Chain A
Amino acid sequence: MKKFTILSLLLTIILLTASSDLYAGSSRDYISIVGSSTVYPFATVVAEQFGKTTKFKTPKVESTGSGGGLKLFCAGVGVEHPDITNASRRIKSSEVEKCAKNGIADIIEAKVGYDGIVVANSKSAPLMNVSRKELFLALAKEVPGDNEGELIPNPYKTWKDVNSSLPDQKIEVLGPPPTSGTRDAFAELALEGGCKKFPWIKAMKKKDKKKYKAICHAVREDGAYIEAGENDVLIVKKLEANTNAFGVFGFSFLDQNSDKIKGSLVDGIEPTFENIADGKYPVSRPLYFYVKKAHVGMIPGIKEYLREFTSEKAWGSEGYLLDKGLIPMPEEERKSFNKSVNGLESLSM
């Protein structure tokens, strides 16, 4: 009986190793892309165009989030690791180090364009004009109290409580969960932007960066901010039904649904294409992708994919990515990135 068990175990191991050997010899003939869900809609369009207009296979694009994408990207060199990762923030120096430790010395950085984060409500509701400070006060977990250096749990129930010039309606904001890059960017750009307006909090940034971040990035959990999942389509539907509610999402959703929702003014600036492009609208961020230089030449088509992405017909001021909601970089920046990306220049931090 015992012999029998050992024999069967041996057989299983042999079978499993044999099956993995079967694959190990083959190589990959398509580009593998991972990363941010914000860049995903743009990367997929480029991938599709690339696949249809060249003789190469269509790249595979996964939406793993910026952090998850960089983790996969930095795992090593070889066909089993992705070639390109998209990110809705710049790569961190700790991630560059991790990459280097795993043998990825040369990374090519490409900026894609900009994305705006909007606070929108139903078309039938009145237009809102809110400052970043008011957004922070309305949505933070703890807000500064009457005395300097004092923090109290967020007491505000209505927008009027925050600032008497705002409408007298309940604070109700639907937004992405903490796992989302959009949420990170919203916390960093909108909430932290408002948080900094308090001098004593700003002063804390130098002394105790961790505490500063905790104050500025923590979102209230008493039901005023509702985590609506990553599904922005759902948020749009809910906003239509509830005219008191606001939603937080990427500009492309506002662009596609402009007959149902409208974007609130932030710091008095309307979230329009032009305002985001020239940096006037305060809640906008750059989008990137990173390429493993060691894979260029190993996986067919990477160079050509980069050429497609950096061409004027894709990311230019009249390119097809524009229709998908990408906000292009100024012409000079486009030119400089076009040169560095197609010249395969490595990133130096």
Chain B
Amino acid sequence: MIKNRLKRRYLFEKIFRFMGLSAVVTALAMLAILFLTIISNGYSAFKQTYIRLTVTLDEEVIDPDGARNPDTLSSANYSGIVKKTLRKIFPDVKSRRDKRELYSLVSQGASFQLRDIIMDNPDIIGETVTIWVPADDDIDMLFKGYIKRSTPENERRVSDKKIAWIDVLLNEGAIKKRFNSTFFTSGDSREPELAGIYGALKGSIYTMIVTLLLSFPLGVATAVYLEEFAPVNRFTDIIEVNINNLAAVPSIVFGLLGLTIFLSFFGLPRSAPVVGGLVLTLMTLPTVIIASRAALKSVPPSIREAALGVGASKMQSVLHHVLPLAMPGMLTGTIIGMARALGETAPLLMIGMVAFIVDIPKGFFDPSTVLPVQIYLWADSPERAFLERTSATIIVLLAFLIIMNALAVVLRKKFERRW
């Protein structure tokens, strides 16, 4: 009888272990699939197809009066120069329709690139320069194999004619994939080949600075006060319960709060990182407070007693002894709270940070977006080339999150004290 029961108990244990293990394996497999799809979709976005153009910077076109007036230089007909260069490579393209198609081989960005070169260095007007300009996103997709040559022409976004031109360029070595630096140096664009994450990255950084500067001191001060100084009564009990509840409030609610308080009541600007930072501060504060209080609680009372015993005031005992010992735990909590804030879009939707913004933000009051919002916006764009850029942005965001979490681990490992 006992033996029988024993057998059954062993069996149950085996089943339990097996189920636990398979749960872990499934979770890991899901994670692996997620990473694999994102990386396999996104890695190609770090390269971009470029076309080599040998451009004659005709003084007649760029600066007819020769005065090198910046206004004339910036408004010159650069797209005309690009078109002329293309016509020179393929002189037998005559009809209007074919020409239009030929011009669409290179990105609209080519003429802006040319303008920037001239504005930087007006002395090269009149010379002939060789530049690599980004190819149109359809060409890029063809090159990367997302648009297949085998699909029938009427279903393909790149016509047979264009493919023939590309093959000519390919033979001359005038078209190739290079590192996509635009992706890291420019702001948003509706042309995938010109779109970059720099604007969103900077917006994220500004927002995080505001969040860190507000939530860390406020959170730590609140935790210290509640844990070390506040009397235990009904009032502080209510505060404590409320802080714990706030940590579980859905983030979009904080967005609504931000909309009514910061935008409507205080009249702060829409879409500004400062407002985003304020809203995210509200969201991360409870996390920081709870983590900081836990860190303070884990400091043994003997430390406080010893400090008080040698004649330190309450303030001195907290500032000189308890706080330094609790700091690693507090920092870890803050970093995890910040990592959560970095990946947040919902509250920013309400305060207008989900927007198309091309200019790179230069300060806390300039309109800007953040990385997760950029992902959301690109994921919804019809152009095929945004798909890989979406995944590439996710890779960048994930890298940031991993770095922040690793930092938290390192801090904990380095400064943590075991009692």
Q: How far is the CA of A123 from the CA of B357 in the complex (A)?
A: 35
A80 lies within 8 A of B384 (CB): no
Q: Chain A's nearest CB lies how many Å from the CB of B359?
A: 5
- Known interface pairs A20-B266, A23-B267, A258-B157; A41-B365 also in contact (CB < 8 Å): no
Chain A residues 73-115 with CB under 8 Å of chain B are 80
Contact of B381 among A34, A41, A58, A123 (CB under 8 A): A41
| Cβ-defined contact, A51 with B358, below 8 A | yes
B219 within 8 A of A: no
Known: A44-B190, A232-B380, A256-B384. A19 touches B266 (CB 8 A): yes
Tell me which residues across on chain B come within 8 A of A230, comparing CB atoms: 380
Q: Are A256 and B383 in contact (CB under 8 A)?
A: yes
* A62 interface residue per 8 A CB criterion: yes
Interface bits A50-68 vs B (CB < 8 Å: 1, else 0): 0110000110111100000
- Cβ-based interface call for A325 (8 A): yes
* Chain B CB within 8 A of A40 CB: yes
Contact of A60 among B151, B357, B381 (CB under 8 A): B357
Residues of B with C-beta under 8 A to A253: 382
Binds B, one of A25-33, A299-307, A339-347: A25-33
Contact A28 B380 (CB under 8 A): no
A233 on the interface (CB 8 Å rule)? yes
**Chain A residues with Cβ under 8 A from B270's Cβ?**
32, 62, 80
**CB of A243 within 8 Å of the partner chain:** no
A16 close to chain B: CB less than 8 A: yes
In the complex the two chains form, what is the Cα distance from A62 to B352 in whole Å?
7
Contact of A325 among B352, B355, B382 (CB under 8 A): B382
Whether the Cβ atoms of B147 and A259 lie closer than 8 Å is yes
CA distance A48 to B199 in the complex (A): 14
A28 to B366, CA, bound (A): 9
Bound complex: CA of A258 vs CA of B138, how far in Å? 13
Is the CB of A324 closer than 8 A to any CB of chain B? yes
Say if the beta carbon of B400 comes within 8 Å of chain A: no
Binary per-residue interface labels of chain A (290-319) against chain B in the complex, 1 for a CB within 8 Å, 0 otherwise: 000000000000000000000000000010
Cross-chain contact of B382 among A23, A30, A43, A232 (Cβ < 8 A): A232
- Cα distance, A64 to B372, chains bound together (Å): 17
**Complex alpha-carbon distance, A47 and B188, angstroms:** 12
Contact partner of B268 (CB less than 8 A), chosen from A20, A232, A252, is: A20
Q: Does A204 contact B (CB under 8 A)?
A: no
Per-residue B-contact encoding for A167-199, CB less than 8 Å = 1, 0 else: 000000000000000000000000000000000
Task: Determine the distance from Cα of A75 to Cα of B338 in the docked complex, in whole angstroms.
Answer: 34
Task: Kindly list chain A residues whose C-beta atoms are within 8 Å of the C-beta of B189.
Answer: 48
Contact across chains for B157 and A324 when beta carbons are under 8 A apart = no
B343 within 8 A of A: no
Minimum CB–CB distance from B252 to chain A (whole Å) comes to 14
B205 within 8 Å of A (CB atoms): no
Residues A47 and B356 in contact in the complex (CB < 8 Å), given A30-B367, A60-B271: yes
Rounded to whole angstroms, the CA-CA distance of A253 and B263 in the bound complex is: 35
CB of A256 within 8 A of CB of B147, answer no
> How near does chain B come to A248, taking the closest CB pair, in angstroms?
15
* Cβ 8 A contact of B358, one of A47, A232, A257: A47
Rounded to whole angstroms, the CA-CA distance of A206 and B58 in the bound complex is 69
Q: How far is the CA of A45 from the CA of B189 in the complex (A)?
A: 8
Q: Which of A45, A62, A231 contacts B190 (CB 8 A)?
A: A45
Measured in the bound complex, the distance between the Cα atoms of B396 and A330 in whole Å is 45
- The answer to whether B382 and A258 touch across the interface, beta carbons within 8 angstroms, is no
Q: What number of A residues sit within 8 Å (CB to CB) of B?
A: 43
Q: Which of B112, B354, B359, B387 has the largest count of A CB atoms less than 10 A from its CB?
A: B359
Interface flags for B78-119 (1: CB within 8 Å of A; 0: not) read 000000000000000000000010000000100010000000
Q: Are B355 and A80 in contact (CB under 8 A)?
A: no
Chain A contacts of B397 at CB under 8 A? none
Within 8 Å by CB of A20, from B156, B267, B352, B382, lies B267
Tell yes or no: A24 within 8 A of B by CB.
yes
Contacts of A63 in B (CB 8 A): 354-356
Complex Cα gap A41–B356 (Å): 10
In whole Å, how far is A78's beta carbon from the nearest beta carbon of chain B?
Answer: 9
B384 in contact with A257 (CB, 8 Å)? yes
The reply to whether A51 and B267 form a contact with Cβ atoms under 8 Å apart is: no
User: What per-residue 1/0 map shows which CB atoms of B261-298 lie under 8 Å from chain A?
Assistant: 00100111111000000000000000000000000000
> Which residue among A34, A45, A58, A231 has the maximum number of chain B CB atoms within 10 Å of its CB?
A58
Minimum distance in angstroms from A125 CB to a CB of chain B? 14
Q: Which single member of B155, B156, B266, B380 contacts A233 (CB below 8 Å)?
A: B380
Please name all residues of chain A whose beta carbon is closer than 8 Å to the beta carbon of B383 when the two chains form the complex: 256
Q: Would you call B379 an interface residue if the criterion is a C-beta within 8 Å of the partner chain's C-beta atoms?
A: yes
Alpha-carbon distance between A77 and B87 when the two chains are bound, in angstroms = 50
CB-CB nearest in chain A for B387: A233
A252 to B271, CA, bound (A): 28
A252:B382 contact, CB within 8 angstroms: yes
- B181 to chain A minimum Cβ distance, whole angstroms, is 18
Contacts A41-B190, A257-B384 hold; do A62 and B271 have CB atoms under 8 A apart?
yes
Give per-residue flags for A149-182: 1 if the beta carbon is below 8 A from chain B beta carbons, else 0: 0000000000000000000000000000000000
Partner of B354, one of A47, A62, A252: A62
| Complex CA–CA separation, A242 to B147 (angstroms) | 21
B136's nearest neighbour on chain A, judged by CB, is: A323
Task: Please tell me which one of the listed residues B100, B266, B354 contacts residue A16 in the complex, with CB atoms under 8 A apart.
Answer: B266
Q: Which residues of A contact B382 (CB under 8 A)?
A: 41, 232-233, 252-253, 255-257, 324-325
- Determine the distance from Cα of A337 to Cα of B190 in the docked complex, in whole angstroms: 25
One of B191, B267, B355, B365 near A61 (C-beta < 8 A)? B355
Give the distance to chain B from A61, nearest Cβ to Cβ, in Å: 4
Q: Give the distance to chain B from A82, nearest Cβ to Cβ, in Å.
A: 8
CA distance A26 to B383 in the complex (A): 38
User: What 4 A-B pairs come out closest when comparing CB atoms?
Assistant: A20-B266, A58-B358, A61-B356, A62-B355
Q: Footprint of A on B, CB under 8 Å?
A: 100, 108, 112, 147, 151, 155-157, 189-191, 263, 266-271, 352, 354-359, 365, 367, 379-384, 387
22 residue pairs bridging A and B, Cβ less than 8 Å apart: A23-B267, A30-B367, A41-B190, A41-B381, A41-B382, A48-B358, A51-B358, A58-B359, A60-B271, A60-B367, A61-B356, A61-B357, A62-B355, A80-B263, A80-B267, A233-B379, A233-B380, A252-B382, A253-B382, A256-B382, A258-B157, A320-B108
User: What 14 additional pairs, Cβ within 8 angstroms, besides A23-B269, A80-B263, A259-B157?
Assistant: A23-B268, A28-B269, A32-B367, A48-B190, A57-B359, A62-B270, A63-B354, A232-B380, A256-B157, A256-B384, A259-B155, A320-B108, A324-B382, A325-B382
